[in-house]
Amino acid sequence: MRLLLAAVVVLPLLGAGAALLPAPPGLRGRGPEQAVLRHGVTVTGAVLAVTVVLALGFDHDRPGTMQAETDIAWIPALGVRVHLGTDGVSLPLLVLTALLTFLCALYSYHRPPEGPRPQAFVALVLLLEAGTLATFAVLDLMLFFLAFETVLIPMYFLIARWGGAGRERAAWKFVLYTLLGSVVMLLGLLLVGLGAEGGPTFDMTALAEDGGRGLTHTTQLVAALAIGIGLAVKTPMWPLHSWLPDAHTAAPTVGSVLLAGVLLKMGTYGFVRIVLPAVPDGVHTLAPYLAAFAVTGIVYGSLACLALALPGSRGDLKRLIAYSSVGHMGFVLLGVATLTRTGVNGALFANIAHGLITGLLFFLVGAVKDRTGTTDLDRLALDGAGERGAGAALYRRAPRLGGLLAFGAVASLGLPGLAGFWGEMLALLGAYRPADGLSRPAYLVFMALAALGTLLTAAYLLVVVRRVCMGTPSAPGTAPAPSATLPDVRGHEFAAWIPLVVLTVLAGLWPALLLGLTDPAVQNLLPGVSR
């Protein structure tokens, strides 16, 4: 098990280096470009296979216990160790990361993004996978910080070199926001590690057992604020979210899928893994403010999406889904801010649900752009001649694509029976009865505002389905304008999207599959919490 977890982290890093080397003559296929794209599929497929074997070998009777641990001294003078391990909190995120990266590589093999050499593209995707997997697998604060920062480089280049209009500005905005947040986060990590009871340590498990006993309340408060700011930028939390819509709009399809499905989870994972157990007193003081920012993001993101979805707004479909992520991640932060087992389990469930559903939506929006040449909602609601009546009308022109887009929309709005429902519901239940010492009336207001956000979410997503899938209604007494048939879902697209559909349904119908992993681990991270 130790070797499997180490292989999960190291394999994509080795694959990234190998992608830059010339392909052996017998493996070039139709050319070096096809060979390196096949290399990407092979390496990410191997990482996924190893991750699945790791999940199957995981002791599901002890999901709260850290398993598959490797603990080796790296920088003894600073107490930094190569400490790897996984439990019920990190294992689902490891599997999600490996799955989404493999599906992105499979999609790119059949439809490479337009841009520079594919060798660099594949190497960057694999480096991004290595950094993300390491973030979820390491148990040392300094290694967590290094892995957290590693993903900035490949994502910057994926946006800046393979993105669309405005890609350079969006890439720089992404890097600057995240770097500034990371500098503040590093100060908080140092405060926690150097002030630990019994001497400096950066070991997350030791700090969780310590529970902040070696830190004064003021130090815990400053550390929680500093680490929280850095994590909130990556989540992203309102008002630190403004880099996200630009990055998603400019990024290639694969970049958007990985950014929404994987990278945003690094911030919320850090809240649960580091902040809650290591500085509990500081978090308790800041929790109401975190909840207030979370529900503001939920309502703000929903209103922004509704404004983009309305006719005449020149709204962009990719930008709309990016703003929807601000709202959905607000539910994750609200669950964390309740400081209850129910809320934190809801946050972890919503994390996985958002990765599956929003990853699927960005795949689908990329397919719509490939077929129609645009993601402008007003243009999608017009036919080729620019006349009202036909619209994109995906139900008629590409019925399977339209059906999948409608499925992604109803899953995103939290339809019962699909994965998006449980995370939001548990976050709301956590807010209904927050942890002891938190103001229940304030959290009831937060719960009401978050519930309003769910109604607004349903409103804008149903408007999108009506305009893109059904088309704009014709004027009374006139026939719809004729519209050309669009290519429907292709074989490689089915292969990349159906796993996300199946898992979204499975998690919705059988939530205990995921909650059975997370709840014992959350109990260990919040030992004094009874509900």
Identity of the amino acid at 218:
T
What distance, in Å, lies between the first and last C-alpha atoms of the chain? 32
pLDDT (0 to 100) of residue 472: 58
Distance in angstroms (rounded) separating the CA atoms of residues 263 and 341: 24
The tens digit of pLDDT for each residue in 193-217 reads 887 777 778 888 888 888 878 788 8
The tens digit of pLDDT for each residue in 120-158 reads 889 999 999 999 999 999 999 999 999 988 888 898 898
* Segment holding 84, helix H or strand E: strand 80-86
- Describe the crossing of helices 91-110 and 118-137 by its angle, rounded to 10 degrees: 170
- Describe the crossing of helices 91-110 and 341-372 by its angle, rounded to 10 degrees: 0
Supply the pTM of this predicted model: 0.91
Cβ-based neighbour number of residue 484 at 10 Å: 8
Distance in angstroms (rounded) separating the CA atoms of residues 202 and 483: 61
Nearby residues of 330 by Cβ (< 8 Å), 6 or more positions away: 237, 238, 294, 295, 296, 297, 298, 301, 450, 453
Mean pLDDT of 394-422: 88
pLDDT confidence bin for 388, thresholds 50/70/90: very low
The pair phi, psi for residue 339, each rounded to 5°, is: 60, 30
Identity of the amino acid at 323:
Y
Q: Residue 272 has what DSSP assignment?
A: I
Q: Which has more confidence, 150 or 474? A: 150
The burial class, CB within 10 Å (0-12 / 13-18 / 19+), for 496 is: buried
Residue 27 has pLDDT above 70, yes or no: no
Residue 327 has pLDDT above 70, yes or no: yes
Quick one: tokens of 103?
């599906």
pLDDT (0 to 100) of residue 337: 92
Residue 383 has pLDDT above 50, yes or no: no
Cβ-based neighbour number of residue 21 at 10 Å: 11
